[in-house]
Structure 1
């Protein structure tokens, strides 16, 4: 069952899940950016509704934030009917942009078709992960230093990590661009401990991602959240 986040940027929550996506039971109403970031690893897609007062800048900021940290689908519902506003959202990475005149059925069909299609793509990607090792030219610019728990980026910037951050990075580094599930990460770090540590892993990922991206002043996004599956090191 797909999980969809719904973010309404208006001053009032006029767009509830019953008026936007009636077909889906797993709808998370997210009140702000903080809630979105907390729930992002669980989401297959995000619907962002602009609301009144032309909040295009906030819409754009959310699109960039999501694209940096996740591969989930992004649908935008704009108040404005300006073609340029739609183009801006699409250029930033939104998967589809609707306007306020779009019918409820149209919205639901777009979401349903996209989720079905992405399920096929995700399966194909997972199968390709098993087909053999990756040969990446840029892995050399991302070096782990085990002696002092650090990583060197672009052969010039060394980033110090905590022991747990380093251990988690080692797991992802084994097979770059391959998705590691939460359970697989937990097994490799904590062994046979049966306690659910998904929240702990997500918290470590958050700090690790911040350190890597801030070190070189880039929004490149070394660690990707693969929706509903786990994490991937993109080097």
Structure 2
């Protein structure tokens, strides 16, 4: 079952252009700027539909916010066919841009094919990552948690925290720059936004400390970034 966010009431969405989406193993969840932070990490894809209240500016704003918080698939549907708008959405990072001129069945197939590849890539990534790290850390991808040697408790992480922990484990005892962390997790260009990375590290350290793990396991490398040291 895929979790798909839509930017309008789900009952209205199910009776619009892509009426078969919810019947193809997709669970539709209404998403907006207010609840996005809470649910975006659980979504496999987001479908944004233009209407009188959701113009190109607001859609572009939502795409940017989604990209900042997580990395799901993104599709946009425009009522009026406009090649320029399609290009803009794709340049913003959308995985597909459709209009009412596109056949519903074809759009539905493209979305489902994208989701299948997305899930397959995630499964292959999880298989590769399901190993005990040399520093006594076990990453558990299927439920986004981490376990430390000598501690039977699994520590639940958010998707971004898990990605950060994974990157640091893969570079054990090596400094990882702010830029490398930012581009790996958010998949966007780094614009010297150290605060965003530092904020994520702060939350991860706090979560580890509450579970009895030494927070300075993640050490700050001056003027560079962070490094995972010995437990």
For 1:87, the equivalent position in structure 2 comes to: 87
- List runs of 5+ in structure 1 lacking aligned partners: 134-170, 224-233
- List runs of 5+ in structure 2 lacking aligned partners: 165-180, 183-191, 201-225
Distance 2:87 2:159 in 1: 34
For 1:28, the equivalent position in structure 2 comes to: 29
Count of aligned pairs: 170
Conserved 8 A contact 1:78-1:98: yes
Q: CA RMSD in A?
A: 4.4
1:1-235 aligned at under 5 Å gives the runs 1-8=1-8, 15-19=12-16, 20=18, 21-24=21-24, 25-30=26-31, 32-52=32-52, 55-129=55-129, 180=141, 182=143, 184-185=145-146, 187-188=147-148, 192=152, 201-202=157-158, 216-217=192-193
1:110-140 CA deviation, whole Å, 9 max, x = no partner? 211111111222233234435998xxxxxxx
Secondary structure of 1:26 counterpart: strand
Conserved 8 A contact 1:4-1:46: yes
Superposition deviation, residue 52 in structure 1: 2.4
Superposition deviation, residue 89 in structure 1: 0.8
Distance 1:14 1:52 in 2: 18
TM-score normalised by the chain length of structure 1: 0.55
TM-score normalised by the chain length of structure 2: 0.56
Which one has more relative contact order, counting CA pairs under 8 Å at least 6 apart? 1
Secondary structure of 1:33 counterpart: coil
